Amino acid sequence: MRLNLKLTGNTEPVPFDHLHHLTGALHKWLGENRLHDGTSLYSFGWLEGATAQNGHLTFPRGAGWRVSFHDPEAAKALLDGILCDPTVFAGMRVFEAQEQATPQFSGCYRFLVDGPVIARREREDGSKEYLLWDDDGADAALTRVLRWKLRQAGFTDQHQEATVQFDRTYTGARSKLAHIKGIAHKGSECPVVVTGTPEAVRFAWTVGVGELTGSGFGALR
């Protein structure tokens, strides 16, 4: 279930690295323990409508924000939380929330991304290596994460054949560095192609692709 939220403009400066503020708003509305299940079966995009000004962002005409949940009950809980307290951060407030109809997906779909996609693999020493869109290994990393989330959501058998790959025919691909509480994460702004059962493709549209979807990376549109 996807919700399209409309926010009022900010009354305080919005820092470039503000993803943790968005995550904080979600957990405030849902309750601190609702989404702390180890696997993020939800995703949210970056705020739309920003203008850079004097080292920060401003939203003079308000902002758009997409939030998606595999569990529709979580989306309903989010709406209840917004009704109780619509504040987000920096003086921004939710003034409208609309449910977006779920598209009818086929077995293969090309998605635009609503935030950088994080693909990583583990090195021998246990550290993480970031893989960008032009690294063939990135596709395997994205596929592994999607299949893991599908299993966590109860999708087995043919659903486990789903794959994710970057669209390397896209000429505007670029890397994007974002910080969350001082930790730098490097992702790719590049469309992805998800192939699999219609249910698996729809699942990816909801939960995003790659790692850290619960922190503002890898949402799809």
Quick one: pLDDT at residue 205?
Answer: 98
Within-domain flag for 185: yes
Beta bridge partner(s), residue 165: 193
Average confidence score pLDDT of the chain: 95
**Which residue is listed with tokens 């009354």?**
11
Within-domain flag for 195: yes
- State pLDDT tens for residues 70-129: 999 999 999 999 999 999 999 999 999 999 999 999 899 999 999 999 999 999 898 999
Look at the pTM and tell me if it is higher than 0.85: yes
Structural domain harbouring 136 = 108-215
Handedness of CA 187, 191, 197, 201 (dihedral sign): positive
Within-domain flag for 221: no
Last residue of a domain, one of 100, 132, 161: 100
- State pLDDT tens for residues 20-38: 999 999 999 998 655 655 6
Asked if pLDDT for residue 201 goes beyond 90, the answer is yes
Within-domain flag for 115: yes
The beta-carbon contacts of 80-85 under 8 Å, at least 24 apart in sequence, are 80/29, 81/28, 81/29, 81/30, 81/31, 82/5, 82/29, 84/29, 85/28, 85/29
For residue 214 the two structure tokens come to 């619960």
Within-domain flag for 210: yes
Tally the domains of the chain.
Answer: 2
| CATH code, domain with 41 | 3.30.70.1890
Q: Strands 94-100 and 2-7: what pairing?
A: antiparallel
